[in-house]
Structure 1
């Protein structure tokens, strides 16, 4: 069984495409909902462009507070991420090779190997289901683990039905004649 990397919830970092809502207490005309541009910036009244990408919401709020302090006495700024588009892309899992529909899907807690195989429409007739692999990033290195999808799908052996993590890739190779698989 592949080791579960110890994923602790990380503070959310704002990314390109995210929608953030900036609220300035007692100054509603300065608050707005903004999408982070492809260059990583947002534009705000009185401040102009502010780098948002890579910052936590509270860091961005502090920076905006400092920028508005020149114009407003004791500004109170709150930044909320209302549409975290970038996180969805960063936390994807993928299935490739001999499946009906290779794809990349958004990770959902609790997803397993079987869930992803079923989302991909199952295996093709040419899938070497006994040689599938799960590739996972562990301590900055990609590691591959064998999966026997045939035992899982045909025999009901759920020992290969591992819990998935963001960034996992399942690869299902093609059967080969010299291995006696065809």
Structure 2
């Protein structure tokens, strides 16, 4: 009986080592590379709120939401296609059109609420947390911040095997996070800075790993 128990314990330990070695994930202390954030000029999208200012003609200025069809309505001009255009390009187009009605119009456009890009700039946490979250990214956010916003991990969380998924060069890469070390030992080596689009998943404890 003692020999069988020893053999079973040794087998479980071997399985854990094999699984850990075959995970293929980078070390939990390795800082995830920062992906190239979008650097292209902003293009107006559906749902964006834009502020239009016409110099010396305040009655033509307005703050307006881009409609689902991609258009906005302008005094004197009627419907104008806004979706897919850079603010400067749209301002130039409106200036030319208004030139038929007023002398040398100068138009400036500012995107005051970029709603169309909101979901591209969010952080998400799923799995064994009290309240899975999808929150707007804020500069300076860390792994600890989003875990606390989710209410912490549950009693069934394998918090030493949490994973950060980050899009790098068009594909998602995964990096191990040791939330147990962060909360229990104050070890901040995996409390990485987050960036827009990051997803954190916290798996459930598993019997064959000896976690239950």
TM (normalized to structure 1)? 0.92
Aligned to 1:147: 177
Larger relative strand fraction: 1
Aligned to 1:54: 84
Which of 138, 156, 172 is equivalent to 2:202? 172
Larger relative helix fraction: 2
TM-superposed deviation, 1:132: 0.9
Alpha-carbon distance in 1 for matches of 2:146, 2:37 = 20
Deviates more, 1:113-122 or 1:84-93: 84-93
Aligned to 2:141: 111
Alpha-carbon distance in 2 for matches of 1:133, 1:149 = 10
Aligned to 1:137: 167
Alpha-carbon distance in 2 for matches of 1:67, 1:177 = 69
Aligned residues: 182
Contact 1:20–1:33 (8 Å) recurs in 2: yes
Q: Deviations over 1:43-85 (max 9, x none)?
A: 1122222222232221211111122223233211111222333
Structure 2 gap segments, 5+ residues each: 1-30
Q: Give the alignment's Cα RMSD to 1 decimal.
A: 1.6
Secondary structure at the counterpart of residue 163 of structure 2: strand
TM-superposed deviation, 1:120: 0.4
Alpha-carbon distance in 1 for matches of 2:80, 2:142 = 40
Contact 1:88–1:107 (8 Å) recurs in 2: no
2:113 matches 1:74: no
Aligned to 1:30: 60
Secondary structure at the counterpart of residue 189 of structure 2: helix
Secondary structure at the counterpart of residue 13 of structure 1: coil
Aligned to 1:158: 188
TM (normalized to structure 2)? 0.80
Contact 2:36–2:168 (8 Å) recurs in 1: no
Deviates more, 1:62-71 or 1:91-100: 62-71
Aligned to 2:33: 3
TM-superposed deviation, 1:117: 0.3
TM-superposed deviation, 1:10: 5.0
Deviates more, 1:54-63 or 1:139-148: 54-63
2:76 matches 1:39: no
Deviates more, 1:140-149 or 1:25-34: 25-34
Alpha-carbon distance in 2 for matches of 1:125, 1:171 = 15
- Select the structure of larger CA radius of gyration: 2
